[in-house]
């Protein structure tokens, strides 16, 4: 009997050990699979980020080339044209007046182009910082068009990494371009609030707003804003509906 009992005991222990072994193996296998899936997901995300960032890099490079061309070539040619205009001497006062007017217009074009090239150039934005770049752009808009422009900045001389500031500046530019192009607004309110662990930017207009699920035309502007926000790991909120203006907020923490 005792021999039987020990055989039963042995068999039970053996079966138990086999069962535990199987369970452990299954658990290990599952964990490994989960890990593999996670790694695949991470690789996919890294790949998408890489594509996104190289696309934006190419775009920046194009901006830089255009900015350079405006500065070195078109700007120079116009300045020369202005000099030539100013050297015209004529006894006819009406002609002189017209030449003077043209010279003023060319001067204005030179100045506008200089601003444009500055706001396009990566190096300039990295150097002056987001706050000044935004302020410069808004000054240009309020000079050129009839908007009540309001800019609020808090955060002293806090700075983000230049690459992030550049991306945020491009987001700001697209949002403002959209206001000018689509909103029929009379006011533009921009706020940048910077604290050591938190950055927020809002761009708000009092224009016609739109239905985000049913847009009149699908450009690439809002898509770029989405992609850029994702690239720097920020949160994006677009608050709008027909008739009640648009507010775009970016939160980075
Ligand atoms: N501030 C705004 N006020 C009113 N409508 C807007 C505003 N911003 C965007 N929209 C609407 O959303 C649409 C999509 O904007 P998006 O920037 O993606 O494209 P787009 O400006 O038409 O073209 P693109 O930016 O490619 O030059 C616009 O066509 C417009 O109808
Ligand atoms: Mg647009």
Can you tell me the mean pLDDT for 43-64?
86
Ligand closest to CA 182: 1
Can you tell me the mean pLDDT for 1-26?
92
- Residue 208 alpha carbon, nearest atom of ligand 1: 4
What is the residue with the minimal CA distance to atom 20 of ligand 1? Answer: 219
Better-predicted residue by pLDDT, 250 or 55? 250
User: Which of 132, 123, 192 is closest to 162 using CA atoms?
Assistant: 123
Better-predicted residue by pLDDT, 187 or 53? 187
Q: Which two tokens stand for residue 136?
A: 């410069």
C-beta of residue 126 within 8 angstroms of C-beta of residue 166: yes
Ligand 1 pocket test, candidate residues 210, 220, 226, most atoms within 8 A of CB: 210
pLDDT of residue 1: 65
Read off the pTM.
Answer: 0.75
């Amino acid at each position: 009997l005792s021999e039987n009992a020990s055989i039963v005991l042995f068999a039970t222990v053996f079966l138990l050990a086999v069962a535990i072994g199987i369970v452990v193996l299954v658990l290990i296998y599952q964990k490994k699979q989960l890990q593999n899936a996670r790694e695949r997901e991470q690789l996919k995300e890294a790949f998408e980020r890489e594509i996104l960032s190289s696309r934006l890099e190419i775009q920046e490079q194009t901006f830089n080339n255009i900015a350079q061309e405006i500065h070195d070539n078109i700007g120079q040619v116009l300045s020369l044209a202005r000099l030539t205009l100013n050297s015209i001497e004529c006894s006819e006062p009406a002609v002189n007046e017209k030449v003077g007017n043209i010279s003023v217009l060319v001067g204005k074009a030179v100045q506008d182009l200089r601003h444009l090239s500055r706001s396009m150039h990566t190096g300039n934005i990295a150097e002056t910082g987001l706050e000044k770049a935004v302020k410069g752009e808004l000054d240009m808009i309020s000079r050129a068009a009839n908007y009540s422009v309001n800019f609020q900045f808090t955060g002293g001389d806090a700075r983000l990494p230049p690459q992030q500031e550049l991306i945020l500046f491009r987001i700001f530019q697209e949002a403002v371009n959209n206001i000018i192009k689509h909103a029929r607004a009379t006011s533009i309110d921009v706020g940048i609030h910077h604290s050591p662990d938190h950055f927020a930017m809002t761009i708000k207009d009092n224009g016609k707003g739109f239905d985000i699920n049913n847009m009149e035309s699908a450009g690439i502007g809002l898509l770029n804003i989405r992609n850029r926000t994702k690239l720097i790991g920020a949160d994006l909120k677009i608050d709008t509906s027909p008739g009640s203006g648009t507010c775009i907020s970016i939160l980075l923490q």
